[in-house]
């Protein structure tokens, strides 16, 4: 069964994501660091089933606390996994840091810009199409608590492929 790792910064709604995707019971709490162990669940895709693993939130792949250590270890153990990287759309730079680190390690990534509503509240506008073409990976705006964008995330899974960071750097220069 294909494995999917759900990764992201702490407190961006990964657990809600996980519950939505798998119908499982992970306790979602509105404070950081609720997921300190990992949780596994299963999801039915269109043509195949996936095993989804909810990885503890981490800011980077250079671990600072025990929850982050767990995250890095899990990524290293699952070499053939696909990663859904959930980031906070209103703090996109910080999320991209983690996303890039994962991309650099050669994992295929689907990027979910979660808390899209919060970003809108804060008057932050993100050009999804441009971001997609720069990174060359699927990018989906989502609102986890209301379920917006989930279908698209699931549909994008098969479009995800590993990309080189060099291509990204070139692309950034080209695009206006």
Partner 1 sequence: MTLTADERWDLIEKISNKVVTFSKFKHTLKDALGELTVKPLTGIPIAIAVLYGFWSVFSSFAGTLCTDGFFVKLFDGHFLPWIQSVFPGKGGWFYYIFVGDPAADNCFEAFGVLTSGLFVAIGVVLPAIFIFYLMMALLEDVGYMPRLAVLIDTIFHKIGLHGYAIVPSILALGCNVPAVTATRILETKKQRFIMMTLLAIFIPCGAQLGIMQEVIPESIGIVLLYLIFGYFLFGFILNKITPGKSPEILIDVPPYQKPLWNNISRKLRMRLGGFFKIAVPFVLFGCAIVNILYLSGTIDWLARVLTPLLTGWFGVPGETVGPLIAAFLRKDLAVAQLSAIEMSKYQMITSVVLVSIYFPCVATFVMLLKEGWKNLLGSLAVLVTVIFLYGGLINVIWKLLGVQ
Q: Which is nearer to partner 1, 4 or 95 (CB)?
A: 95
CB of 128 or CB of 158, closer to partner 1? 128
d(CA 20, CA 83): 16
Name the segment binding partner 1 (CB under 8 A); options: 25-33, 43-51, 76-84, 155-163: 25-33
The span from the CA of 80 to the CA of 89, in Å, is 27
* Contact flag: residue 161 with partner 1 (CB under 8 A): no
Residue from the set 42, 44, 164, 170 that interacts with partner 1 by CB under 8 A: 164
**C-alpha distances in Å from residue 138, one per residue of 6, 10, 39, 49, 131:** 15, 22, 24, 20, 9
- 56: Cβ–Cβ under 8 A, 6 or more apart, which residues? 10, 33, 35, 36, 37, 38, 67, 68, 70, 71
- Of 124, 151, 159, 161, the residue at the interface with partner 1 (CB under 8 A) is 124
Taking the complex as a whole, how short is the minimal distance between the CB of residue 64 and partner 1, in angstroms?
6
Q: Which is nearer to partner 1, 1 or 27 (CB)?
A: 27
Report the length, in residues, of the chain: 176
Which is nearer to partner 1, 15 or 156 (by Cβ)? 15
């Amino acid at each position: 069964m294909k494995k999917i790792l759900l990764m992201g910064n702490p407190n961006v709604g990964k657990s809600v994501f996980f519950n939505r995707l798998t119908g499982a019971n992970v306790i979602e709490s509105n404070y950081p660091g609720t997921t300190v162990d990992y949780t596994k669940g299963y999801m039915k895709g269109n043509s195949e089933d996936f095993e989804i693993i909810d990885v503890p939130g981490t800011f980077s792949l250079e671990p600072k606390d025990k929850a982050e250590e767990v995250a890095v270890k899990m990524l290293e153990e699952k070499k053939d996994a696909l990663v859904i990287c959930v980031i906070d759309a209103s703090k996109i730079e910080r999320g991209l840091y983690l996303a890039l680190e994962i991309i650099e390690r050669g994992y295929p990534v689907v990027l979910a810009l979660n808390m899209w509503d919060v970003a809108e509240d804060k008057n932050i506008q993100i050009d999804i199409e441009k971001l997609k073409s720069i990174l060359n990976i699927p990018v989906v705006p989502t609102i986890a608590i209301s379920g917006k964008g989930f279908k698209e995330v699931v549909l994008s899974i098969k479009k995800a492929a590993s990309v080189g960071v060099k291509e990204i750097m070139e692309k950034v220069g080209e695009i206006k």
